[in-house]
């Protein structure tokens, strides 16, 4: 069974630009969560999507948004990029997002802002 696939693996952008990251969950998984990982703040939850609806949201500004498609694939968008947005962005999928369902992570997209 294929794991969680994130594209692209690496991305370089400049301040003020916007970026879209993609995540393909494990087949059959309907919940997709996004996380940001930085050396200073560690792993922080961004949001979770289930059945094309945002179900949970972390404490990030509105510049961070996402969506989920009917095939459960998800995209995350960051607008008006800032230097502090440089991070590893991780996507995780699970069957239904319930507490007894493990989330399985992809290897992330490393975003660098110049």
Partner 1 sequence: DAKTTQPPSMDCAEGRAANLPCNHSTISGNEYVYWYRQIHSQGPQYIIHGLKNNETNEMASLIITEDRKSSTLILPHATLRDTAVYYCIVRRINNDMRFGAGTRLTVKP
State the residues that interact with partner 1 by CB under 8 A: 4, 33, 35, 42-45, 48, 55-56, 58, 90, 92, 97-100, 102-108
Provide the minimum distance between the beta carbon of 16 and partner 1 in the complex, in angstroms, as a whole number.
28
Q: Which is nearer to partner 1, 78 or 89 (CB)?
A: 89
Provide the minimum distance between the beta carbon of 56 and partner 1 in the complex, in angstroms, as a whole number.
5
Provide the minimum distance between the beta carbon of 94 and partner 1 in the complex, in angstroms, as a whole number.
10
Q: Which is nearer to partner 1, 3 or 16 (CB)?
A: 3
For 79-97, b/e burial (b = at least 16 CB within 10 A) is eebeeebebbbbbbbbbeb
Q: Which is nearer to partner 1, 66 or 106 (CB)?
A: 106
d(CA 45, CA 64): 12
* DSSP notation for 60-111: --TTEEEEE-TTS-EEEEE-S--GGG-EEEEEEEESS--TTS--EE---EEE
């Amino acid at each position: 069974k294929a794991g969680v696939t994130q594209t692209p693996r690496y991305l370089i952008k400049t301040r003020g630009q916007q970026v879209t990251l993609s995540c393909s969950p494990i087949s059959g998984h309907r919940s997709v969560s996004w996380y940001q990982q930085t050396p200073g703040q560690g792993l922080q939850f961004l949001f979770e999507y289930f059945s094309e609806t945002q179900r949970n949201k972390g404490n990030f500004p509105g510049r961070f948004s996402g969506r989920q498609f009917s095939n459960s694939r998800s995209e995350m968008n960051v607008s008006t990029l800032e230097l502090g947005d440089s991070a590893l962005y991780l996507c995780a999928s699970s069957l239904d997002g319930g507490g007894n369902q493990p989330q399985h992570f992809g290897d992330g997209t490393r975003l660098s802002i110049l």
